[in-house]
C-alpha cells in the first residue's frame, strides 16, 4: 500500500432537604456494581459518595466500602430498595458510587498515548453505536486487546453512563474515550497522523483473515441497525468483511469489534515475536 500520509463525554428531581434524595445528578456520574467500583478505586477515580446496602454482612462488600472510605469517599448505608430505585443497570450488587464525571479526551490524546507506548495506534471508532451494552462491551474488548482509545460522536450515540461502565466491567476507567462533534473530521485528523481507516461491512472487499492489521489503524464499527453511514464509509481506506459460515449473515456491533480487534492483536503479537 502506498503511504500517502505524514508519520501517529433529568437531573431535575423534586427539591428535598434530605441528602439521600439527591443521589443521581446525572447517569454519567454514577458507578454501579462491585467490579466497576473496584476498578474506579484502582484507577484513582475520585469518588464523592458511596451507597452500600445496609445490613449486608458480605465481607467483600464491607472491604470495598472500607477502601472507598480510605480513599476519601463518604460511605452511606442505604436500604436495598433505595439502591434499586437509584440503579440504572438493575444490577448494583449492593453498591453504587457517585463520582466525578469521567472526562473525555481528544483524538490527539489517544495518538499521544500510542506514541508514549511506542506502538502503532490501534483505535476503535463507533459510528452511532447507540446501545449502551454494545458500547460497554466494545470498550471492554478494546481495553483487553491493548487498544489506545475509542472515538464516539456526540450525537446519536451512547455515552459514558452507568450502564456503559457496568457493561465494561470497569474497563472504562482505563480506556481513553474521545467524544467528537464531527466523526468525519476526526477520521481526517487520524489520516493526517498516518492512521489507516478500516471499516467493517458485510460486503467489504477485504477478507479479515487476509488483511494486514499490524500498522497504525482505526477500526470503524457501524450502528446496530444501519451499519456505517455513507459519509463515514467514503472516508474508510479499506472495507473489511468477517467470514461467515452459518445461516445468519451478520453479527452485532460488539461481537464484530471483538473479532477484528483480536485478529489485530494476534497479528501484532506475532509480528513482535518475529522481530
Q: What is the pLDDT of residues 235-254, one digit of tens each?
A: 999 999 998 888 887 788 99
pLDDT band at residue 43, thresholds of 50, 70 and 90?
confident
Domain made up of 20-99: CATH architecture: 2-Layer Sandwich (3.30)
Query: Per-residue pLDDT for 70 more than 80?
Result: yes
Whether 20-99 shares its CATH topology with 107-273 is answered no
With a CB cutoff of 8 Å and minimum separation 6, the contacts of 110 are 121, 123, 148, 149, 151, 176, 178
pLDDT of residue 19: 37
pLDDT of residue 118: 96
Question: Could you tell me which of 25, 205, 189 has the C-alpha nearest to residue 100?
Answer: 25
pLDDT of residue 64: 94
CATH superfamily of 107-273: SPOUT methyltransferase, trefoil knot domain (3.40.1280.10)
Query: Per-residue pLDDT for 119 more than 90?
Result: yes
Task: Read off the pLDDT of residues 2-28 as tens digits, 9 standing for 90 and up.
Answer: 555 555 433 333 333 233 333 333 444
Domain ranges of the chain: 20-99, 107-273
Return mean pLDDT, the chain: 86
| Global confidence as pTM | 0.73
With a CB cutoff of 8 Å and minimum separation 6, the contacts of 43 are 173, 174
pLDDT of residue 248: 80
- Mean pLDDT, residues 191-218 taken together: 92
Q: In the structure grid, which three cell numbers stand for residue 228, read together?
A: 456505517
Amino acid at each position: 500500500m502506498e503511504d500517502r500520509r505524514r508519520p501517529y463525554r433529568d437531573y431535575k428531581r423534586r427539591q428535598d432537604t434530605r441528602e439521600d434524595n439527591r443521589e443521581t445528578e446525572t447517569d454519567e456520574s454514577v458507578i454501579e456494581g462491585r467490579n466497576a467500583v473496584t476498578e474506579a478505586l484502582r484507577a484513582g477515580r475520585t469518588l464523592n459518595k458511596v451507597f452500600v446496602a445496609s445490613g449486608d454482612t458480605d465481607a467483600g462488600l464491607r472491604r470495598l466500602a472500607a477502601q472507598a472510605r480510605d480513599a476519601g469517599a463518604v460511605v452511606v448505608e442505604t436500604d436495598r430498595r433505595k439502591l434499586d430505585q437509584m440503579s440504572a443497570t438493575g444490577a448494583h450488587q449492593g453498591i453504587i458510587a457517585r463520582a466525578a464525571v469521567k472526562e473525555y479526551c481528544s483524538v490527539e490524546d489517544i495518538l499521544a498515548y500510542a506514541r508514549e507506548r511506542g506502538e502503532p495506534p490501534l483505535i476503535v471508532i463507533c459510528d452511532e453505536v447507540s446501545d449502551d451494552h454494545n458500547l460497554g462491551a466494545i470498550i471492554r474488548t478494546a481495553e483487553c486487546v491493548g487498544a489506545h482509545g475509542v472515538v464516539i460522536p456526540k450525537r446519536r450515540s451512547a455515552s459514558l453512563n452507568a450502564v456503559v461502565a457496568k457493561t465494561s466491567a470497569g474497563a472504562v476507567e482505563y480506556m481513553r474515550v474521545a467524544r467528537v462533534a464531527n466523526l468525519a473530521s476526526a477520521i481526517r485528523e487520524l489520516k493526517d497522523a498516518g492512521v489507516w481507516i478500516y471499516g467493517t461491512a458485510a460486503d467489504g472487499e477485504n477478507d479479515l483473515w487476509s488483511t494486514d492489521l499490524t500498522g497504525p489503524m482505526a477500526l470503524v464499527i457501524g450502528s446496530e441497525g444501519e451499519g456505517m453511514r455513507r459519509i463515514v464509509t467514503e472516508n474508510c481506506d479499506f472495507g473489511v468483511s468477517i467470514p461467515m459460515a452459518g445461516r445468519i449473515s451478520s453479527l452485532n456491533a460488539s461481537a464484530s469489534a471483538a473479532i477484528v480487534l483480536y485478529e489485530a492483536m494476534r497479528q501484532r503479537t506475532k509480528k513482535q515475536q518475529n522481530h
